[in-house]
Amino acid sequence: MKYAFLALIPFFFLSVGCMPDSPEALALKAEQAYTEGNYSRAIAAYEALLRKTGETPMTCYNLALAAFQTQDYSYAIKMLEKSLASGAKTELADACYELLGLIAEREKDLGRAATYYRKVLNSPDVALKVRVHSRLAKVYTKQEHYDAALALLLTAQELNPGDPVTLYNFGMLCRHEAVNLRHAALDSFRQAERLLPANSPKLKDAKNQVKRLEGYLTSLKQLPTITGDAVACEKALKQMRDAQKKKNYKTAERLARKASEADPSNYEAALELGRLCKQNKDATAALKAYDTALTIRPNASTARQEAAKIAFDAKKYKEAANYLRPALIADPRNSTQADLMGRILYTQRQRVNAKQWFERYLRLAPNTTEQYRTWVNQLPEA
């Protein structure tokens, strides 16, 4: 974790002949000690600086940062609170809240960590915003708010598609049994492996995750290729379209089923059968047809969204979420899907998960009504 504030101490102090105990000399001494990893010496210098200059927001923050490195979390919290109380401006205040969140994580107080991280989700500092989205996602994953974590990580990827820590965290979330999107996990781990610095402790694990997932996915039995009667399928589809034009939906459904049975590998036949079953108010048959379509084209976002809506209307909420998750990853900027995911989760009373998806919808569709925005803002965080 890197913080830029220590580097803000002016280097021109070197050239102006500072007295050994002057504020400038103490600041320089503290910065040098911190850079060298001598945190106890840095703390002593910052404390001497506080006695000289009073409790300025930046010095309190830098002292907290040094205390954090020595794992003196209570002292670090005290200094961060003083930095905030003494008028830290937006960028510095955001850094204070981020460090407070990280300390809360270290102390295993996930609720407190989430509260601090949420305060800076809209920080003007993009790099900090990416870090906090990713860290809050990690907290939510530990709290088993997996869909909230997914929303946050998609936003972090939008802000910086090449952030290796976000890619790693995204892979860890997708490989989790509760999410179970191993292809997406493999893609993320491969990118993280390529982008993580050589000294990152996550690099070795990313490589191991790639090997495990590649082995697992290779071991899966591939469905045998099913050859069908393409000519008979196309003939039935043509007849189906004619019946649709005449609004003979029962006949159209029968013809779509005939087409799908003639060529089980035909995506259009399975998809149209699902749509016609929905038209004829047979949700069970519709979802069965959509399952067939998604076996043929697993990444078909439109089919997944339609199936999720049918399952949602049929009050099959767990199935609805399972249909929708891969589509949210494949088409992350689809605001309609984000809103639907929020509604699925809200109906299940998963408020934390739902709020993150509604907030993502607001990000993707900024011209939403003020009434919707107000309702989302009033939803509880936990």
Give the mean model confidence (pLDDT) for residues 62-84: 96
* Structural domain total, the chain: 4
Above 80 in pLDDT, residue 356? yes
> Quick one: 322 and 291 in the same domain?
no
Q: What is the largest CA-CA distance in the chain?
A: 94
Burial letters 33-57, b for 16+ CB under 10 A, else e: bbeeeebebbbbbbbbbbeeeeebb
> Quick one: 2 and 80 in the same domain?
yes
**Confidence band for 107, pLDDT divided at 50, 70 and 90:** very high
Q: Which of 271, 297, 323 is the last residue of a domain?
A: 297
Average pLDDT, the chain: 91
Whether 98 is covered by a domain: the verdict is yes
Give the mean model confidence (pLDDT) for residues 49-69: 92
> Quick one: 238 and 205 in the same domain?
no
How high is the pLDDT of residue 55? 84
> Quick one: 106 and 3 in the same domain?
yes
> Quick one: 245 and 169 in the same domain?
no
Q: Which of 176, 197, 216 is the last residue of a domain?
A: 216
> Quick one: 21 and 93 in the same domain?
yes
Whether 97 is covered by a domain: the verdict is yes
Q: State which residues form the domain around 378.
A: 306-382
Query: Could you tell me how far CA 219 lies from the centroid of its own chain?
Result: 29
| 341, two tokens | 């995911």
**Confidence band for 222, pLDDT divided at 50, 70 and 90:** low
> Could you give the C-alpha distances from 116 to 99, 105, 255, 281, in angstroms and in order?
9, 10, 58, 47
> Quick one: 104 and 187 in the same domain?
no
Three-class SS state of 330: helix
> Quick one: 68 and 21 in the same domain?
yes
Q: How do residues 145-178 score in pLDDT, each as one tens digit?
A: 999 999 999 999 999 999 999 999 999 999 999 9
Q: How do residues 11-39 score in pLDDT, each as one tens digit?
A: 434 444 456 678 888 889 989 999 999 99
Number of Cβ within a 10 Å radius of residue 112: 16
Q: How do residues 228-277 score in pLDDT, each as one tens digit?
A: 899 999 999 999 999 999 999 999 999 999 999 999 999 999 999 999 99
Q: How do residues 114-150 score in pLDDT, each as one tens digit?
A: 999 999 999 999 999 999 999 999 999 999 999 999 9
Three-class SS state of 247: coil
Higher pLDDT, 1 or 208: 208
Whether 130 is covered by a domain: the verdict is no
> Quick one: 243 and 283 in the same domain?
yes
Q: Which of 188, 216, 244 is the last residue of a domain?
A: 216
For residues 100 and 132, the answer to whether their CB atoms sit within 8 Å is: no
Q: How far apart are CA 364 and CA 335, in angstroms?
A: 6
**Confidence band for 220, pLDDT divided at 50, 70 and 90:** low
Whether 94 is covered by a domain: the verdict is yes
Three-class SS state of 89: coil
CATH number of the domain that residue 272 is part of: 1.25.40.10
Three-class SS state of 372: helix
> Quick one: 8 and 28 in the same domain?
yes
How high is the pLDDT of residue 366? 85
Whether 197 is covered by a domain: the verdict is yes
Whether 25 is covered by a domain: the verdict is yes
Whether 134 is covered by a domain: the verdict is no
> Quick one: 74 and 113 in the same domain?
yes
> Quick one: 2 and 96 in the same domain?
yes
